[in-house]
Structure 1
Amino acid sequence: MRKLLSIGFWEFIARVILRNRIAILAIVVLITVFFAFQWKNIVFTQTEANLIPADDKVNVDYNNFLSKFGEEGNLIVIATQDKKLFTPKVFKAWSDMMTNIDSHKEVDLVISVDNLKVLAKSDSLQRFVLKNLVDKSQTQKQAYLTQIKSDLLNNLPFYEGLLFNKKTGAIRSALYLDKKIVNTKARKDYVLNSLIPEIEKFESKTGIDLHASGMPYIRTLNAKTIIDEIGLFIGAALLITGLLFFFFFRSFRATLISLIIVIIGVMWSFGLLGLLGYEITVLTALVPTLVIVIGIPNCIFLINKYHQEYAKHANKAKALQRVITKTGTATLMTNLTTALGFATFIATNNVLLTEFGVVTSVMILLLYILCMLILPVFFSYIPAPIPRHLGHLEREYLTSFFKWIVNTVKFNRVGVYIVAICMLIIGLIGIHKMRISGSILEDMPKKTAFFDDIRFFEKEFSGVMPLEIMIDTKRKKGVMKLSTLKRMEELEETILEIPELSKPLSVVNLVKYSKQAYYNNNPDFYELPTAQEQSFILSYAKNATQNSKDNLMKSYVDDTGQFARITTFIKDENGEKMEAIEAQIRAKADKVFPPSRYEVIITGKPSVFQKGTKYLLDNLLSSLLMAFALTAGLVAIMFRSFKMVLVSIIPNLLPLLMTAGLMGFLNIPLKPSTILVFGIAFGMSVDDTLRFLAQYRLELSRNDWRIKKSVFATFDDAGISMFYTSIVLFFGFSVFMLSSFGGTVALGGLVALTLFFGMLSNLVLLPALVLSLNRSIANEQEFIAPKIDILEPSDEEVDAFEKK
């Protein structure tokens, strides 16, 4: 009765589709136009991904820091190591460039050698005044520039590590952007349309290559690369899947309609992003390509079934109707399991992954509906398949491949299990070698010029990624107390001992510089004042920090004088040392600043991202377990057999373990991009398992419950589609290896590899397990009446229903 109801439902759907072809095409066009109008709402992300929930303490601390000091990632640096900088022609070009940059409304402050301010004591005013280091009227004299360079490197320790590297002679300028634009489109427009042209103009005029970096600069070029790669991925995916499709079916028309369907899906995916108000991030940028990669296998499965049906009776109308009638439930369930694999990301409590999970799972179901509507309508209008189109059903390479599989399963199951156990052991060994990376830079495009610049600044200035330390003195004006400054200096000494960190920058530097200025700029006096000196030197220093646009230190003490900020920059190689670095700073901070009297917060983008990666790992492992549970639940409902649950999970778990092991052996770290591999691959690989088991159950009923005959008959029907779809998915995901982003390359390669292992596992290990456990899992009582019937009905059952 249940099967008759199922046939009746899909028979009704088939009639509706084939009798209302014009209306269906019109509805698809209208929906496409609707989604196209949503494209205007598409926005591209201007910030890094925050992987931690908003109410987590890590985020609370970070937002607390931002509320006191504003956006910390507003620094852009421009540097050169060329000795020709201190020659009249080049120095003038450098000065002109910095003057032009300083005039831009998006820039708050420029600190550069040509406009550098130095402190000078004014006894009459009882304060320090700021004077220019460089007299621009003298810069045409080589001797003068040589002296300026000497003064800078030898007499101004305050600027060491900020503007120059004394050992290598590298010189840089610091640009502080308006904090209001740092996380907006205005930042991108400024960097691309104003800053970079200024840099290129200088390089063209002088022949000197400049290095530029800093979080606003990195964010902008990183986002631009993401946008540029969207078109690359879509074009490459269409080309590769289209060529594979044509190779399999040798039909231009079948290839064309399949590509049209996925192109419509791509249009819908962009529209869905705009409709939901989701930003284009490094993850959501992959969705249009995923639509192509996942949509083509749906087309393959349905067209292959159409050709199989037509080959039986040469009746086009009957073949089209039976494609829907016979495969409707099965394809719906397999698409649901794929959607479930992506939907598990929604449960991670992470905005980035939740949005990715929502869009991909919804698009998978929309693609299924698109395929079921458009393919039958299209083939109803074109001529019936010719023998050349049906030749793929009996290709020699396919028959040889499946003959090898059948012989392996039939005669060498022990060998299959030995290989599976060996793969399991190798995978488990490799898993122990895996490492976790919490680096912001890990997934950035390493083949780009701006990534080379990042490495330059890591080498010359110990990085561009800010690590922030905020000190709450718990009393107004507590920062400028000499006792507080000495505690900060002691903490900074610990920071200087950590090789991965740069020289720290804080109000301590200004106070030291104030003492040096008080003693006529003698660098020997670059130190904190003594108790006897503090009253007059600190008063001079306080006066020097008032109402000055050129005051570098204005962002390092809040308006109340209660909160102080220490900024250091970290070499963000892979994030592995971040936890140990923070622990070392924390241990010293707790010792120097008693928690009863002070509160010290360690934060900043690298710290938040590293902690977010660990949080993400914990949550995605939970979501993967949820995917296993949901899949097991579906299998249990469909087959009413616990043993079938085990048989379905094992062939899909082994490829995941094997891929995880390879990541360990190949030193591919667990990071936000590679963690996604397992959920995506499992959700897609389990489709083949369900198709195989559903067809196997059908063959059992057809062959009087003869196990071996049913298993091998399953290959004849489901095997070709499983092979075709797996090959398309393998090459489709391989498209992502064209990316400049290491994370995207790893994601594409690892998913492709996992799906390839999954195909072999489902075609070899799965039938071997079914045969070995045949007496248990082929129990007729367990198989006769499943709760959800995904079996393809037999010709006789459909005939019987149609006669009614």
Structure 2
Amino acid sequence: MSKFLSFEFWNTVARIILRNRILILLIIVGITIFLGSQWKNMKFSYTEANLLPDDDEINIQYQQFLDKFGEEGNLIVMAVNDPSLFTPKKFAAWNELAKKLDAYDEVEFTVSIGDLKKLEKFEEEGRFRMVPFIDETQPDSLEVEGYREELFERLPFYEGLIYSKKSNTVQTAIYLDKEIVNTELRRDFVVNDLIPIVEDFEADNDLNVYVSGMPYIRTLNSQNIIDEIGLFIGAALLVTSLIFFLFFRSFRATVISMITVVIGVMWAFGVLGLLHYEITVLTAIIPPLIIVIGIPNCIFLINKYQQEIQKHGNQAKSLQRVITKVGNATLMTNLTTASGFATFIFTQSTLLKEFGIVASINIIAIFVLSLLIIPIIYSYMEIPKDKHLKHLNKRWIGGFVDWIERMVRHHRISVFIISLVLLIISIIGLYTIRISGSLLEDMPKNAGFFKDVEFFEEEFDGVMPLEVLVDTKREKGVMKLSTLKKMDELQTLLAEEDELSKPVSVVNLVKYSKQAYYNGNPKYYQLPTSQEQNFILPYAKDLGGEDNNILKTYVDSTGQYARMTTFMKDIGTEQMERIEENLWPKINKIFPEDRYDVQMTGKALIFQKGTNYLVNNLVISLSLAILLIALIMAWMFKSWKMILVSLVPNLLPLLVTGGLMGFLGVPIKPSTILVFSIAFGISVDDTIHFLAKYRQELKANNWKVKRSVYAALRETAVSMFYTSIVLFFGFSVFMISSFGGTVALGGLVSATLLFAMLSNLLLLPSMLLSLQKEIANQEVLKEPAIDIIPEEDDILQEKKRKKK
């Protein structure tokens, strides 16, 4: 391996690249065309991310629920909170709106005031029959008022389904075809049909319609992700190109770099398509991420090329040295960065695994592209003129480097004290971090659909379905009066929780059956007594007849399983855990485990459990990243003592970031959980560059530690500053997102990398100076496994030393 990464190896690589320029460019074009052809396979995610492993017990329970009752997230709701709705014209228009939507193939059925059925008893048939609530197609004012009064006063069954008594809000439920709920057809219907129809209705009737429901929220959320991919890529290209131009003052250097990263972005999309991965809120950030990580590669390569040109003016020699000298260093730094992302591959979460695979592949790909494209393009261009090299002589950054050196030379104790204080404060902040499993927390708060969510939470106590599955362990056990009473008790228990809505189940239908049996008197909306069950339950069991048996919505075909649906507010993991902790002892008391099996499930609950799973795996993932990079460092420098020196300056920024999250109230969630592994994988690059240069300076300065530390510091501070600035502003691009999690990710990674730069420039050299007896000797810093800075530079350093 050491031979593979030796100076001779990179000389061979340089010769191959420069002697086969046309062939290499044709190969790059061919791969780009091939990956471009895979774009057609890219799909956007149309469902919530399932963060749990497929074989997790909670996932298995959810799948069992779906097998019995089908997709539970297929409900879209529209609501109007306006008294003028109950005027003949608007009332008719509202009912007509539901009929228009019901005619679409994507809609299974709608439930509106116009669709409402009343239960009526037909004694001669021995059954109940659903009859229309509204008889007249064009009711007058008096009749509309009568409907309003009957709905709110005599039909408690429809409370929470069709109306809310809090402020007399009326809603229409739109049940989508379960087969298209998680497909692109759902998006087409919502974007191209539903939204325009609702907007036309609002304009024609001067009514404000609130729209929500998980299919609607997911569609607009996915649309925001699609819109933001282009925004991120454009912003990342703009910001990085501006910074690049400010550093190099060269249009052609900027254009060459942009060409390189644009091809890298095309490859990133191609890899997503080739692997048939869906574009989610995480994989959507990979293309701009490739731009941000690719630009520092371009900076190293072009800067070295221009330095060589300035030295001797020989273009062929300069290009050969660019590949030879910078290839090794950029390979190792890109490997450590890719390692930080690759740790996600070892989680059991499909979402994170896909993110880790695509990100790590493309980080290596952008390195290869940079190493090939930049030298080849420059080989066909004229030698840079003096105006292109002026930036190499700029002294504006000298003040920053002087300050760093002064701090390390004269204020090391202060550096250690400040580091220790930051460590203590950060640990305190870590204990205040909360965990969030909210499906809605990351969604854009200023979006219209989010404001509608808040409205439905206020009026109907939530839009996210929480399902309770009751297994009676025997066929037809659900319709036993004893089971119905237990379910009624459970419904009362759930309704007492402020964060949950009024539940709906077969219990509501049986209560409605009794009310209908007593001629619609609302005071009889209750379960039948043991004396009444014999003549009421037979009606309920055949509710609606064979063709319209609404019992199948809440009871499976065997009569063994019952479904109870409630809706959750946008609550976090901690609140849900508190609710479960309060409910389960009571549920187990109501339903003895030897006779019943009760499960809670639903997408919202799955997401929360998945967040907990990710948090539990965060320590494993980050520990794996640290171990992997530590092994790389130990192998590179052949010294286990160097692990401590290299890890401390990079772990401290992570702890500070964790502390900031605690103090600023930024929760741990699927988006922010990426911060630590990403930042660690990138920040350790600076450590590799500094320690490699430090070892070289030690050999050149006859193992004199102080002189070597300061020389390495002055040599590497500028490149660290340049790359850190690019990374800081590059990741800051994500802060323009409308998604709270993406904003937090961008801000936290930017802050972590900036602090990591200072840590590597202040704490790392301070540690080397303070531990010089233990570390700065030939036994510890013997010949490394690979030459990060090639042998030729070692020879030059030795010549400098002899001249002195």
**Which TM bucket (shorter chain)?**
over 0.9
Q: Hey, what does 1:790 align to over in structure 2?
A: 788
Which one-letter code corresponds to 1:619 in the other structure? Answer: N
Residue 796 of structure 1 and its aligned partner are, at CA, apart by 6.8
More deviation, 779-788/21-30: 779-788
Q: Hey, what does 2:7 align to over in structure 1?
A: 7
Q: Hey, what does 2:568 align to over in structure 1?
A: 570
More deviation, 252-261/380-389: 380-389
Which one-letter code corresponds to 1:30 in the other structure? Answer: G
Secondary structure of 2:129's aligned partner: strand
| Partner deviation per Cα, 1:580-602 (whole Å, 9 max, x = no partner) | 21222322221111100111011
Is the CA contact (8 Å cut-off) linking 1:441 and 1:574 kept in structure 2?
A: no
| Partner deviation per Cα, 1:167-223 (whole Å, 9 max, x = no partner) | 211111111111111111211111112211221111121121211111111111111
| Partner deviation per Cα, 1:562-592 (whole Å, 9 max, x = no partner) | 0001000011233321112122232222111
| Partner deviation per Cα, 1:683-742 (whole Å, 9 max, x = no partner) | 001011111111111122222222222222223332222111111111111111111111
More deviation, 642-651/704-713: 704-713
More deviation, 31-40/569-578: 569-578
Distance in structure 2 (CA, Å) of the matches to 1:92 and 1:255:
63
Secondary structure of 2:137's aligned partner: helix
Q: Hey, what does 2:447 align to over in structure 1?
A: 448
Q: Hey, what does 2:162 align to over in structure 1?
A: 163
Q: Hey, what does 1:608 align to over in structure 2?
A: 606
Q: Hey, what does 1:756 align to over in structure 2?
A: 754
Q: Hey, what does 1:107 align to over in structure 2?
A: 107
The 3 A distance-change label for structure 1 pair 493 and 2 is closer
Which one-letter code corresponds to 1:298 in the other structure? Answer: N
Q: Is 1:509 equivalent to 2:518 in the alignment?
A: no
Q: Is 1:27 equivalent to 2:27 in the alignment?
A: yes
Q: Hey, what does 2:698 align to over in structure 1?
A: 700
Residue 450 of structure 1 and its aligned partner are, at CA, apart by 0.7
Q: Hey, what does 1:483 align to over in structure 2?
A: 482
Structure 1: any 5+ residue segments left out of the alignment?
none
| Partner deviation per Cα, 1:103-134 (whole Å, 9 max, x = no partner) | 11111121111221111111111111111112
Which one-letter code corresponds to 1:51 in the other structure? Answer: L
Residue 87 of structure 1 and its aligned partner are, at CA, apart by 1.2
Distance in structure 1 (CA, Å) of the matches to 2:352 and 2:518:
57
Q: How large is the RMSD of aligned CA atoms in angstroms?
A: 1.7
Secondary structure of 1:180's aligned partner: coil
Distance in structure 1 (CA, Å) of the matches to 2:717 and 2:495:
63
Secondary structure of 2:465's aligned partner: strand
| Partner deviation per Cα, 1:134-190 (whole Å, 9 max, x = no partner) | 223342x11211121111111111011111111211111111111111111211111
The 3 A distance-change label for structure 1 pair 468 and 540 is same
Distance in structure 2 (CA, Å) of the matches to 1:781 and 1:311:
37
Which one-letter code corresponds to 1:48 in the other structure? Answer: E
More deviation, 693-702/480-489: 693-702
Is the CA contact (8 Å cut-off) linking 1:695 and 1:792 kept in structure 2?
A: no
Is the CA contact (8 Å cut-off) linking 1:413 and 1:768 kept in structure 2?
A: yes
Q: How does 1:231-310 map to 2 (within 5 A)?
A: 231-310=230-309
Q: Hey, what does 1:466 align to over in structure 2?
A: 465
Distance in structure 1 (CA, Å) of the matches to 2:4 and 2:27:
30
Which one-letter code corresponds to 1:527 in the other structure? Answer: Q
Secondary structure of 1:16's aligned partner: helix
Q: How does 1:515-554 map to 2 (within 5 A)?
A: 515-549=514-548, 552-554=550-552
Secondary structure of 2:77's aligned partner: strand
Which one-letter code corresponds to 1:459 in the other structure? Answer: E
The 3 A distance-change label for structure 1 pair 2 and 520 is closer
Residue 459 of structure 1 and its aligned partner are, at CA, apart by 0.7
Distance in structure 2 (CA, Å) of the matches to 1:510 and 1:413:
76
Secondary structure of 1:382's aligned partner: coil
Secondary structure of 1:784's aligned partner: coil
Q: Hey, what does 1:56 align to over in structure 2?
A: 56
Q: How does 1:613-624 map to 2 (within 5 A)?
A: 613-624=611-622
Distance in structure 2 (CA, Å) of the matches to 1:4 and 1:699:
24
More deviation, 745-754/324-333: 324-333
Is the CA contact (8 Å cut-off) linking 2:543 and 2:551 kept in structure 1?
A: no
More deviation, 368-377/395-404: 395-404
Q: Hey, what does 1:595 align to over in structure 2?
A: 593
More deviation, 649-658/104-113: 104-113
Distance in structure 2 (CA, Å) of the matches to 1:174 and 1:112:
6
Match of 1:628 among 616, 626, 638: 626
Which one-letter code corresponds to 2:516 in the other structure? Answer: A
Q: Hey, what does 2:395 align to over in structure 1?
A: 396
Is the CA contact (8 Å cut-off) linking 1:47 and 1:183 kept in structure 2?
A: yes
Distance in structure 2 (CA, Å) of the matches to 1:553 and 1:433:
48
Distance in structure 1 (CA, Å) of the matches to 2:767 and 2:385:
39
Is the CA contact (8 Å cut-off) linking 2:5 and 2:787 kept in structure 1?
A: no
Structure 1 ranges of 4+ moved more than 3 A: 1-5, 794-800
Q: Hey, what does 1:733 align to over in structure 2?
A: 731
Residue 469 of structure 1 and its aligned partner are, at CA, apart by 0.5
Secondary structure of 2:79's aligned partner: strand
TM-score normalised to structure 1 length? 0.97
Q: Is 1:638 equivalent to 2:674 in the alignment?
A: no
Q: Hey, what does 2:366 align to over in structure 1?
A: 367
Residue 547 of structure 1 and its aligned partner are, at CA, apart by 2.8
TM-score normalised to structure 2 length? 0.97
Distance in structure 2 (CA, Å) of the matches to 1:456 and 1:698:
65
Total equivalences in the alignment: 799
Which one-letter code corresponds to 1:76 in the other structure? Answer: I
Residue 263 of structure 1 and its aligned partner are, at CA, apart by 0.3
The 3 A distance-change label for structure 1 pair 772 and 394 is farther
Residue 640 of structure 1 and its aligned partner are, at CA, apart by 2.0
More deviation, 747-756/439-448: 439-448
Is the CA contact (8 Å cut-off) linking 2:129 and 2:544 kept in structure 1?
A: no
Secondary structure of 2:780's aligned partner: helix
Secondary structure of 2:571's aligned partner: coil
Secondary structure of 2:500's aligned partner: coil
Is the CA contact (8 Å cut-off) linking 1:641 and 1:777 kept in structure 2?
A: no
Distance in structure 2 (CA, Å) of the matches to 1:568 and 1:354:
32
Which one-letter code corresponds to 1:67 in the other structure? Answer: D
Q: Is 1:187 equivalent to 2:186 in the alignment?
A: yes
The 3 A distance-change label for structure 1 pair 416 and 5 is closer
Which one-letter code corresponds to 1:471 in the other structure? Answer: V
Residue 322 of structure 1 and its aligned partner are, at CA, apart by 0.9
Secondary structure of 1:77's aligned partner: strand
Residue 643 of structure 1 and its aligned partner are, at CA, apart by 2.3
| Partner deviation per Cα, 1:523-558 (whole Å, 9 max, x = no partner) | 000000011111111111112143344x55431100
Distance in structure 1 (CA, Å) of the matches to 2:87 and 2:28:
67
Secondary structure of 1:781's aligned partner: coil
Distance in structure 2 (CA, Å) of the matches to 1:280 and 1:5:
36
Which one-letter code corresponds to 1:119 in the other structure? Answer: L
Residue 654 of structure 1 and its aligned partner are, at CA, apart by 0.6
Which one-letter code corresponds to 2:693 in the other structure? Answer: Q
Distance in structure 2 (CA, Å) of the matches to 1:671 and 1:374:
39
Q: Hey, what does 1:132 align to over in structure 2?
A: 132
Which one-letter code corresponds to 2:325 in the other structure? Answer: K
Structure 2: any 5+ residue segments left out of the alignment?
799-804
- Identity across matched positions, percent: 58
Distance in structure 2 (CA, Å) of the matches to 1:261 and 1:4:
26
| Partner deviation per Cα, 1:420-443 (whole Å, 9 max, x = no partner) | 111111111111111001111111
Residue 238 of structure 1 and its aligned partner are, at CA, apart by 0.3
Q: Hey, what does 1:212 align to over in structure 2?
A: 211
Distance in structure 2 (CA, Å) of the matches to 1:344 and 1:221:
31
Is the CA contact (8 Å cut-off) linking 1:697 and 1:791 kept in structure 2?
A: no
Distance in structure 2 (CA, Å) of the matches to 1:414 and 1:312:
40
Is the CA contact (8 Å cut-off) linking 1:337 and 1:686 kept in structure 2?
A: yes
Distance in structure 2 (CA, Å) of the matches to 1:654 and 1:796:
32
Secondary structure of 1:576's aligned partner: helix
Q: Hey, what does 2:554 align to over in structure 1?
A: 556
Residue 304 of structure 1 and its aligned partner are, at CA, apart by 1.7
Match of 2:651 among 644, 650, 653: 653
Distance in structure 2 (CA, Å) of the matches to 1:2 and 1:201:
70
Residue 470 of structure 1 and its aligned partner are, at CA, apart by 0.3
Distance in structure 2 (CA, Å) of the matches to 1:717 and 1:307:
16
The 3 A distance-change label for structure 1 pair 5 and 588 is closer
Distance in structure 1 (CA, Å) of the matches to 2:185 and 2:428:
49
Is the CA contact (8 Å cut-off) linking 1:71 and 1:179 kept in structure 2?
A: yes
Distance in structure 1 (CA, Å) of the matches to 2:578 and 2:497:
10
The 3 A distance-change label for structure 1 pair 278 and 39 is same
Residue 319 of structure 1 and its aligned partner are, at CA, apart by 1.7
Q: Hey, what does 2:707 align to over in structure 1?
A: 709
Residue 341 of structure 1 and its aligned partner are, at CA, apart by 0.4
Is the CA contact (8 Å cut-off) linking 2:468 and 2:598 kept in structure 1?
A: yes
